[in-house]
A and B are shown apart, each in its own frame.
Chain A
Amino acid sequence: MGSDKGNSLISSFEKKRNVILLLLLPSMVLIFGLLIYPLIYSFYISLLDFSLTRPGVTPFIGLNNYIQALSDDFFLSSLLRTIYFAGVTVSVEIVLGIVVALLLKQKFRGRGLVRGLVILPWALPTVVNGIMWKWIYNANYGALNALLSRMGLIDSYQLWLGEPMRALHSVMFANIWKETPVGVLMILAVLEGISEELYEAAWVDGANTWQRFRYITLPLIKPMIGVLFVIKIVWAIREFDLIYIVTRGGPAGGTTVLSYLAYLNGFKFFKMGYASAISYFIIVLTMIIGIPYIISIARSQREVV
């Protein structure tokens, strides 16, 4: 392209408003078309008795889908499972994240290599993580049974995914394995930024290891822990892939969390209205946790600008 021609074309666009439109519009069209519009449409569907098995007949039923959900025991137990899943996995991930980050902050041989390895679980596709653990938990030939019986910890092979509570914990373990590295790397990034002088000064003042952690490290990583807590809870509430792949929500619904319940109703029972209502409950859950976080980011940004 001739640069003279390009320049004159561009200078005619020089008006600020046009520049803004040119830069922003494509993204905004994509985001609104593919995100905001579907979101509104989804709310509308949640007010209909919309079944794919009955095309063309979608009577408006107001909040009936929501009422139906709240009076359904399986919905309520799925809600509790979702909260349990998110609460426990995230707490464990954050505690482990702090411990491992502190470990990787120490000086030892091969530190760079070990730090590099930590990212592996994060990078694995969720599908590969899912089939890997499903294979490890396999009742007949799984490596976990083989390992534990070799170590003499179990007498006979166990059905790790055969009983509701145990299956839920097995899936949670797989999730913790995959999600912990994010916390480790982010906490480690903060730790790297703490000045050594702080610790040296504390050392001179006679502070022991625990005191140095309690009064220097912990306050400085606290903001990051807060952030991790929020985003991880949101991710955990949305979790679908792992549950679909490892247990399909079973056995006996024992690993059915809200995302899976919504999928089940929408794409197995074709009840689109009811499924949309369930997914709106998930949105409410994630927003309750996420909105205060967004507001706090907005505040901190205003200070920067």
Chain B
Amino acid sequence: MTAASNKNLISFLLYFAVGLLVVVILTPYLWLFISSISTKRDLTTIPLRWFPPEPTFENYSRLLLGGTGATDAASQFGRCALNSLIVASMVTLISVFFGSLSAYCLTRINFKGRSMLSFTIIIPQLLPPVALIIPLYLIVRKLGLLDTRFALIMTYTSFILPLVIWLMIGHFRSIPPDIEEAARIDGCSRIGALFRVVLPLVAPGIAATFIFAFIIAWNEFFYALIFSSTQSSKTLSVLVEEFSSKFGEDYVLMSTAGVLASLPPVALALVFQRYIVQGLTAGSVKG
């Protein structure tokens, strides 16, 4: 009897704790979403209306389609989303391509100074971006590249490439060298073996790294804040911040922009969660 009620109590506590956890995780984001489908009046009434009597998706169409009476910031949305997409994709492609080659070299080929070089790859993770931004800003300004997507692509690569190399070293290590050696005995060149045998085997690792790098590049804010000023390079991160500071206090539009800007990384992370966890663990512990 008592054992059974004890068990019930534990089970109740367990579900209570899980429920609490879900509420704490979801509520802030859910509130952002509810704000985005409310009207300004719903949000500025006291006591607050927790759910709008007439939910509206008008703000989404205003941001995504432009539409009539779009404010300055709203009309920039499409352009900035495109900038974010181009910059994040290019950074990811460059980093994963060159990073994979380097990681292969650092795991498979013996040469002097190899282990030293492998460790220096982690150091960028320790550097504060603010320490790099001043010289980079001066260089970029001198080259006349301020407010270009090119400047963002290059500067993001500086911290995403080392991360990719580090993650890919882990993935290459997990593939037994015997397979590659067998291919080379069969007459494959080293580069040939890399492309025909090793890369296909490491493909899941590359996919995982790709998604991880893309999310980090998409979410980046600091470099974009300093380097971009107009629609020619401004990313969504910067635009969303401007909704909350520059363009008056339009909470509804700000929330809508926030929800939209977070959709790609959130969707990727939820779908490929296993990859992300792999990336996080490998990025910090294993080599």
A residues lining the B interface (CB < 8 Å): 7, 10-11, 13-14, 16, 19-20, 22-24, 26-28, 30-31, 34-35, 37-39, 41-42, 45, 100, 103, 106, 108, 110, 114-128, 130-136, 138, 140-141, 143, 146, 149-150, 177, 182, 185-186, 189, 223-224, 227-228, 231, 234, 237-238, 240-241, 244-245, 259, 262-263, 266-267, 272, 275-276, 279-280, 282-283, 286-287, 290, 294, 297-298, 301-302, 304-305
Contacts and interface: CB of A to CB of B under 8 A. Distances in A.
B152 to A, nearest CB: 12
Nearest to B10: A106
Given A31-B161, A128-B32, A282-B130, A272 B251 contact: no
Contacts of B240: 125, 127-128, 131
A65 B17 CA distance: 51
A275 B134 contact: yes
20 contacts: A14-B189, A20-B109, A23-B102, A23-B109, A34-B136, A34-B154, A37-B135, A39-B131, A103-B21, A108-B18, A116-B270, A123-B269, A125-B261, A131-B254, A132-B32, A189-B277, A224-B285, A263-B133, A275-B134, A301-B115
Contacts of B126: 234, 286-287, 290, 294
A240 B241 contact: no
Nearest to A295: B119
Interface stretch (B57-65, B67-75, B220-228): B220-228
Given A20-B109, A39-B127, A135-B255, A177 B284 contact: no
B175 to A, nearest CB: 15
Contact of B262 (A42, A103, A106, A123): A123
Interface string B32-67: 100100000001101110100000000000000000
Given A185-B280, A231-B284, A267 B226 contact: yes
The main secondary structure of chain A at its interface with chain B is helix
A20 B103 CA distance: 11
The main secondary structure of chain B at its interface with chain A is helix
Nearest to A263: B130
A206 B197 CA distance: 52
Contacts of A302: 115
A171 B154 CA distance: 31
B98 A26 contact: yes
Interface in B203-250: 215, 218-219, 221-222, 225-226, 236-238, 240-241, 243-244
B270 A100 contact: no
B262 A128 contact: yes
Interface in B1-48: 14-15, 17-18, 21-22, 24-26, 28-29, 31-32, 35, 43-44, 46-48
A239 B50 CA distance: 32
A81 to B, nearest CB: 15
A22 B281 CA distance: 29
A106 B131 contact: no
Contact of A283 (B98, B128, B276): B128
Interface of B: 14-15, 17-18, 21-22, 24-26, 28-29, 31-32, 35, 43-44, 46-48, 50, 98-99, 101-102, 104-106, 109, 111, 115, 117-119, 122-139, 154-155, 157-159, 161-162, 165, 189-192, 215, 218-219, 221-222, 225-226, 236-238, 240-241, 243-244, 251, 254-255, 258-259, 261-262, 265-266, 268-270, 273, 276-277, 280-281, 284-285, 287
B43 to A, nearest CB: 6
